[in-house]
Amino acid sequence: MDGKIRMSLDEVRNLTESALVRLGLDERQVAAVAVTIVAGERDGCAAHGLYRLLVCARTVRAGKVTRDAQPVVRDVARALVRVDCGGGFAQIGFEAGAPVLAAKAREYGLAGLGINNCVHFSALWPEVEALARDGLVAFAFTPSHAWVAPAGGTTPIFGTNPIAFGWPRPGGDPFVFDLATSVTARGEIELHRREGQPIPLGWGLDPEGNPTTDAAQALAGAMLTFGGHKGSALAAMVELIAGPLIGDMTSVESLVADGGAGASPIGGELIIAIDPSGFLGSAAAQHLARGEQLFDGIAGQGARLPSERRYRARARSLVEGVEVPARLIAEIEALFDADAD
Amino acid sequence: MDGKIRMSLDEVRNLTESALVRLGLDERQVAAVAVTIVAGERDGCAAHGLYRLLVCARTVRAGKVTRDAQPVVRDVARALVRVDCGGGFAQIGFEAGAPVLAAKAREYGLAGLGINNCVHFSALWPEVEALARDGLVAFAFTPSHAWVAPAGGTTPIFGTNPIAFGWPRPGGDPFVFDLATSVTARGEIELHRREGQPIPLGWGLDPEGNPTTDAAQALAGAMLTFGGHKGSALAAMVELIAGPLIGDMTSVESLVADGGAGASPIGGELIIAIDPSGFLGSAAAQHLARGEQLFDGIAGQGARLPSERRYRARARSLVEGVEVPARLIAEIEALFDADAD
């Protein structure tokens, strides 16, 4: 059962969609959620790939997802839009809100989208990448569950609170990063626990507040922020701007609402998009081209350009498909063995 | 000469203003620049305090500052404004642009300010604090000189590229942070060199690309980003959004323009402001109050709240004044001994 199974991306999509359908999600959510899961598997981000189906199943079966949720778009200010996901997955909110966000960014120079009342995967790179492919500079932020202690503390209060950024590159894939303000993603620690692997020191604290290399202990205790007090400050920023600022939950509130179900976080997401033509008018292309010198300067000295690894994995996956642990496929199939729902 | 001199904040202001006047800056720049230097000394940020007068003098005398620069405000998009500083210090651009930024944020829900063609101190917290005191959520970014290597590299390509954030707190000082995406501020390493103190391992590389604890070697080689590849990604973001996106220089371009003068960076700054009422309407106050639970959760477990140390230093400075190294005062006075200008 420790072997790997090779699958084409179409097979990944089919498996994902059929599992989501069997969980009772309606067509809109199946399609929107599958985009993220296929992107995760395709781009080499296992924690957001097929593994997420296990989390989806737990979340849906715990009654935390409205299976036929319909997003409601509300124009709240000239350059701001909110989408109420009605308790569905965040992806339907992004799909409904992104075109409005992009239109507002082009009209006003920049714009903001608040996605509310949603169940969230915390995979933000597909969203900022899509906006950057549309020619916009994009930022995305979301809290999660209170899993991460602030620098100098031991009690979890922040989520993994990712910050994602997308920048359009003339004639190429956008420059994109999506980084948890925790040292690592929660899913990574869960994958270590599943594989029985120790985690590096510095990723988490046990429930007594001591540094630990035991994945299960860190999951029960507290994760840590990256970069000490600086990462901690950024994590607080994400809590504030993608929580109270858009009228949605903090990570502490989300974990309380979870009530021990172990479901995905619920709450909101903030996306900001800037149209380069807003600042630069017809000179936008000329200045965006100067961004290329920065990328050359990074890659030219052998340093890794963020998103490079993801695009390489994607190019490979599109040709060769992906390798998925056989045990994971078995677990996904077992979700429906007893028709547990 | 290693003693300390106690000064009131009025004395700090008088010393600062008279030095800036003797450097030939006009009234507007003297007043605007003094605000930052007094704030640095007042808030316990020595690297942005009176020490900056030495850097100012070098920068002005190298011909890098237009002494009578007048900011020109240009309304480039409905929710975006640009200020051309005409080669003066960034502070005059902030003073001219901030009221327009705030008015646009209130009108459109959010707004952006690009400050261009300026000489920059990289002290952003006074700006986001001022906007937050005005009820806005604020972000500020600026590149500097190419002093910092990307994660995995050894050649400086990024500036210290700070990210600053301000959040209005009902009835209290705003929540504010201002963090270099380098491990530490350049000024901190310079202060270590001046004091003959070693720097911690991890702050920088020598000119051969090896880790060093020698401040002078790190200044000659490369500084490092905080938090490894994540800090490096954020540093790249700052380069892009406060450089090409607003039609201004990257840190590499700024260092080339410096031409070995050792002057302050020149280039631009991006500020984004969001009006909480834009997303929340009349519910804004209620949601901002929920932010307080986050701050209680941080401070309540004994972790340090960003900006706490700065406000404590400020409260003390307002009553007791500040202690300044006697040697620094002597050096400031010596600037004008031979009427070197």
pLDDT digits over B278-306, tens only?
999 999 999 999 999 999 999 999 999 99
Q: Say if residue B214's pLDDT is above 70.
A: yes
Q: Do B76 and A250 touch (CB under 8 A)?
A: no
N- to C-terminal Cα distance for chain A?
Answer: 25
Residue B46 confidence class, pLDDT cut points 50, 70, 90: confident
Residue A112: which H helix or E strand, with range?
strand A110-119
* Chain B nearest CA to A67, separation (Å): 27
B127/B311 Cα distance (integer angstroms): 15
SS3 A179: strand
> Is residue B194 classed exposed, middle or buried when 0-12, 13-18 and 19+ CB atoms within 10 A define those classes?
middle
C-alpha distances in angstroms, B288 versus A178, A238, B106? 27, 14, 16
**Is ipTM over 0.90?**
yes
Chain B positions in Cβ-Cβ contact with residue A301 (cut-off 8 Å): 149-150, 153-155, 157
Dig out the tokens for B34 from the structure: 């003094």
Of A112, A153, A291, the CB nearest to B301: A153
Residue bearing tokens 């925790």? A182
Q: Which of B149, B262, B163, B250 is nearest to B209 (CA)?
A: B149
Question: Are A230 and A79 contacting, i.e. CB atoms less than 8 angstroms apart?
Answer: no
Q: Is B111 on the interface with A (CB under 8 A)?
A: yes
Interface test with B, best of A108, A113, A116, A145 (most B CBs within 10 A): A108
Measured on CA atoms in the order A327, A144, B237, A171, is the torsion positive or negative?
positive
Question: Are B110 and A80 contacting, i.e. CB atoms less than 8 angstroms apart?
Answer: yes
Q: Do A153 and B303 touch (CB under 8 A)?
A: yes
Residue type, A287: H
Chain A positions in Cβ-Cβ contact with residue B294 (cut-off 8 Å): 157, 236, 239-240, 243, 250, 252
Closest residue, chain B, to A163 (C-alpha): B234
Q: Do B80 and A246 touch (CB under 8 A)?
A: no
Of A177, A246, A304, the CB nearest to B279: A246
Residue A212: which H helix or E strand, with range?
strand A211-212
Q: Do B279 and A232 touch (CB under 8 A)?
A: no
Q: Say if residue B38's pLDDT is above 90.
A: yes
Dig out the tokens for B213 from the structure: 């604890």
pLDDT digits over B137-192, tens only?
999 999 999 999 999 999 999 999 999 999 999 989 999 999 999 999 888 898 89
A230/A34 Cα distance (integer angstroms): 34
Q: Do A237 and B177 touch (CB under 8 A)?
A: yes
Residue bearing tokens 């600026």? B142
* Chain A nearest CA to B245, separation (Å): 6
A272/A80 Cα distance (integer angstroms): 9
For residue A142, what pLDDT is reported?
98
For residue B339, what pLDDT is reported?
58
Residue B316 confidence class, pLDDT cut points 50, 70, 90: very high
**What CATH code would you report for A69-182+225-298+301-305?**
3.30.1370.60
Q: Which of B66, B65, B60 is nearest to B22 (CA)?
A: B60
Burial B164-191 (b: 16+ CB within 10 A, else e): bbbbbbeeebbbbbbbbbbbbbbbbbbb
B202: CB partners within 8 A, 6+ apart: B183, B211, B224
What is the model's pTM?
0.97
Q: Which of A67, A114, A58 is nearest to A87 (CA)?
A: A67
For residue A154, what pLDDT is reported?
97
For the segment B252-256, the average pLDDT, to the nearest whole number, is 95
- The residue with greater pLDDT, B295 or A47, is B295
User: How many contacts, defined by CB atoms under 8 Å, are there between A and B?
Assistant: 233
Q: Do B303 and A245 touch (CB under 8 A)?
A: no
Number of helices and strands (H, E) in chain A? 13, 13
A333: CB partners within 8 A, 6+ apart: none
> Is residue A228 classed exposed, middle or buried when 0-12, 13-18 and 19+ CB atoms within 10 A define those classes?
middle
Q: Which of 3.30.1370.60, 3.90.1580.10, 3.60.21.10, 3.50.50.60 is the CATH number of B69-182+225-305?
A: 3.30.1370.60
Mention the CATH class of domain A1-61+307-341.
Answer: mainly alpha
> Is residue A208 classed exposed, middle or buried when 0-12, 13-18 and 19+ CB atoms within 10 A define those classes?
exposed
A11/A6 Cα distance (integer angstroms): 10
Closest residue, chain A, to B179 (C-alpha): A230
Chain B positions in Cβ-Cβ contact with residue A153 (cut-off 8 Å): 298, 301-303
Residue ranges, CATH 1.10.1530.10, chain B: 1-61+307-341
Q: Say if residue A243's pLDDT is above 80.
A: yes
For residue A112, what pLDDT is reported?
98
B304/B293 Cα distance (integer angstroms): 15
**Percent of chain B with pLDDT strictly greater than 90:** 94
* Chain A nearest CA to B270, separation (Å): 11
Burial A30-55 (b: 16+ CB within 10 A, else e): bbbbbbbbbbbbbbbbbbbbbbbbbb
Question: Are A112 and A100 contacting, i.e. CB atoms less than 8 angstroms apart?
Answer: no
Measured on CA atoms in the order A94, A99, A100, A104, is the torsion positive or negative?
positive
pLDDT digits over B78-94, tens only?
999 999 999 999 999 99
Q: Which of A187, A222, A220, A180 is nearest to A203 (CA)?
A: A222
Q: What is the DSSP string of B260-310?
A: T--PPPEEEEEEEEE-HHHHHGGGHHHHHHHHHHHHHHHHTTTPPPTTHHH
B105/A100 Cα distance (integer angstroms): 19
Q: What is the DSSP string of B86-149?
A: TTSBHHHHHHHHHHHHHHHHHHHSEEEEEEEEEE-----HHHHHHHHHTT-EEEEE----S-EE
Of A112, A154, A177, the CB nearest to B274: A112
Dig out the tokens for B166 from the structure: 């301000």
Which residues, numbered 241 to 300 in chain A, qualify as contacts with chain B under a Cβ-Cβ cut-off of 8 Å? 241, 243-247, 250, 252, 272, 274-276, 278-281, 283, 287-288, 290-291, 293-294, 297-298
Q: Do B232 and A303 touch (CB under 8 A)?
A: yes
Q: In what order do the strands lie in the sheet with A175-179?
A: A72-77, A80-84, A110-119, A266-274, A137-141, A163-167, A175-179
C-alpha distances in angstroms, A48 versus A32, A37, A149, B222, B335? 14, 6, 23, 35, 59
B202/B223 Cα distance (integer angstroms): 9
Q: Which of A174-183, A259-268, B23-32 has the lowest mean pLDDT?
A: A259-268
Q: Do B279 and A149 touch (CB under 8 A)?
A: no
* Average pLDDT of chain A to the nearest whole number: 95
B288/B276 Cα distance (integer angstroms): 8
Q: Do A293 and B154 touch (CB under 8 A)?
A: no
**Percent of chain A with pLDDT strictly greater than 90:** 94
Interface test with B, best of A116, A203, A245, A246 (most B CBs within 10 A): A245
Residue ranges, CATH 3.30.1370.60, chain B: 69-182+225-305
Residue A188 confidence class, pLDDT cut points 50, 70, 90: confident
Q: Is A148 on the interface with B (CB under 8 A)?
A: no
Q: Is A236 on the interface with B (CB under 8 A)?
A: yes
Residue A334 confidence class, pLDDT cut points 50, 70, 90: very high
